[in-house]
């Protein structure tokens, strides 16, 4: 894409604006707005600069390639992002040029778009990308230490939670609230309903009910999420882990185990 010397003089960011992103350690990145109707959707431009990039630096810049995971080859190759909220003053707009037909089309779809919690979250993710290229060994070591710390913390939290957990308490819980930004409130409501009804069915079976009946309720939760995912495609890696973890918590409370996914193995997500 070609940059020109036209600068957006308006207060609000516009379609086609190219803006710079200050990173840590004195580095800079850049991006290009492709939709501003609800928050800001943009292509991250390929390159990092020692100083704030100029119009000339961005002339001919193309979007950075996104990481494509197995089974996701249908997604666009470009690294596309989105954040909402107030436009940060440090994201200086330096030029503007008309969007191509392809850019306009990509701005109108959320497919392949990485959702950042904030503008600062985007800048942090872009700096991590810089570190993967320019500081890879130290970056990977930090990531490994952080993963180990999180795993240890999660295990401790899960153990503490299970000591106080009961079916009645789980029936009152309102999980998955953080899914709303990505998948919408209706998906959150349906996911909560599935678990609430399943938990109540387990409460009704408390006592001397056969293990097959209890297992059937838990497998029914998976069936319901299969149907929900078929309609909304809302279950990705983190959602899957949350659902399975919650099913396993219920299983423990009714004296069952999900060994070799005997309760959740028929999931299609």
Give every strand in the sheet of 113-115, ordered side by side.
93-96, 17-22, 28-35, 40-44, 80-83, 113-115
Say if residue 3's pLDDT is above 60.
no
Let me know how many helices (H) and strands (E) the chain has, helices first.
Answer: 9, 6
Instruction: Report yes or no on whether pTM surpasses 0.85.
Output: no
Nearest to 65 by CA among 50, 75, 52: 75
Structure tokens at 150: 């999180």
Would you place residue 6 in the very low, low, confident or very high pLDDT band (cuts 50, 70, 90)?
low
3-state secondary structure of 104: helix
The pLDDT value recorded for residue 69 is 47
* Structural element, H or E, at residue 25: none
Is 90 exceeded by the pLDDT of residue 31? yes
Query: Which residues lie below 8 Å from residue 12, measured CB to CB, with a gap of 6+?
Result: 36, 87
pLDDT bucket at 158, cuts 50 / 70 / 90? confident
- The more confident residue out of 75 and 259 is 259
The closest of 131, 155, 156, 157 to 143, measured between CA atoms, is: 131
How far is Cα 22 from Cα 51, in angstroms, rounded to an integer? 9
Alpha helices in 46-108 (DSSP H): 55-58, 101-107
């Amino acid at each position: 894409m070609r940059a020109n010397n036209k600068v957006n003089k308006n207060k609000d960011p516009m379609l086609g604006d190219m803006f710079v992103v200050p990173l840590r350690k004195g580095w800079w990145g850049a991006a290009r707005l492709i939709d501003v109707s609800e928050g800001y959707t943009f292509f991250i431009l390929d390159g990092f600069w020692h100083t704030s990039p100029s119009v000339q630096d961005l002339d001919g810049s193309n979007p950075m390639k996104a990481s494509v995971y197995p089974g996701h080859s249908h997604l666009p190759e470009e690294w596309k992002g989105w954040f909402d909220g107030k436009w940060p003053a440090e994201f200086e707009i330096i030029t503007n040029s008309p969007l191509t037909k392809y850019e306009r089309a990509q701005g109108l779809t959320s497919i392949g778009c990485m959702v950042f919690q904030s503008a600062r979250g985007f800048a942090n993710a872009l700096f991590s990308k810089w570190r993967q290229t320019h500081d890879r060994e130290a970056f990977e070591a930090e990531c490994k230490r952080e993963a180990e710390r999180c795993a240890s913390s999660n295990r401790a939290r899960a153990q503490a939670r299970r000591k106080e957990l009961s079916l009645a308490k789980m029936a009152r819980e309102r999980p998955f609230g953080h899914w709303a930004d990505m998948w919408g409130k209706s998906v959150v409501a349906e996911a909560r309903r599935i678990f609430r009804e399943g938990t109540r069915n387990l409460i009704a079976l408390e006592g001397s009910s056969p293990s097959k009946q209890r297992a059937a309720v838990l497998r029914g939760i998976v069936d319901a999420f299969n149907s929900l995912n078929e309609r909304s495609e809302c279950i990705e890696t983190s959602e899957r882990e949350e659902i399975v973890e919650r099913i396993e918590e219920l299983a423990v409370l009714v004296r069952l185990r999900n060994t070799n996914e005997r309760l959740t193995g028929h999931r299609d997500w």
